[in-house]
Structure 1
Amino acid sequence: MEFLRNLPTDDPAALAGLIDIRPGRVVSMALTRSEHCQMTLLAFGDGESVSEERYFGDTLYYVLEGSMPLRTEMGERILAAGQCLAMPTGVSHAIGGAGPFKLLQITVQ
């Protein structure tokens, strides 16, 4: 495959099962090879977070397991498993800092 990687090609699998939560770490797995679309699986250990960031394109967060705190200038939101939220290009935000969770992050330019 030219653009997708680290994904099952023979048998279907749950996205959440492709990455493991590790205590004290943020684990990531890139699912694409493209400068215009980045898809990444992320697994956050209990209390782990990513500080404020701004992305090059619109970003979609889809929570696979657990619940994900997302902080913006307008306050904090908690996304539960199965929920998603989009952040526009250039909007500063931070994620994590609570219990363990897994998510799919897609950024499109």
Structure 2
Amino acid sequence: MEKKYIKNIEFSKALEMVNLVEYQDGRVVSLTLVQNDTLTLTLFAFAKGEAVSTHSAPGDAMVYILDGEASITVGENKFIATKGQTLVMPSNIPHGLDATENFKMMLILVKG
């Protein structure tokens, strides 16, 4: 059997990424598509009011907002990110986010 590098998603089918994770009141829902030593690709659905506390990562993290809106802090800077926007958080720089409304994102973490 051939090794698959992507998991938890149907192959050879056109899918709408925004529909692969669903909102749940008071929760953060995640679906990991790739996780290895150099790359993590995860979809998230955040209920309004949920957050990821400030932390740093050992690689560059890029978020792409699929739906809704979030307040994202990178170092000393704060951004309001909305559907269709992307933001890169450099490695080892503290960052965090707050769901100002329900929102979905794709997180791509690239490590050396």
TM-score (norm. length: structure 1): 0.93
5+ residue gaps, structure 1 = none
Instruction: Pick the aligned partner of 2:11 from 9, 17, 41.
Output: 9
Aligned runs of 1:55-66 on 2, under 5 Å?
Answer: 55-66=57-68
CA contact (8 A) 1:66 1:100 kept: yes
- For 2:53 and 2:72, the matched residues in 1 are separated by 10
Deviation sequence 1:20-46 (CA, Å, 0-9, x none) = 011100111101131210000011001
CA contact (8 A) 2:61 2:91 kept: yes
- For 2:92 and 2:68, the matched residues in 1 are separated by 26
Task: Report the RMSD for the aligned CA atoms in angstroms.
Answer: 1.2
Distance apart, 1:97 and its partner CA:
3.6
Correspondence for 2:103: 101
Q: What is the aligned residue count?
A: 109
Correspondence for 2:87: 85
Q: After the TM superposition, which parts of structure 1 deviate over 4 Å for at least 4 consecutive aligned residues?
A: none
TM-score (norm. length: structure 2): 0.91
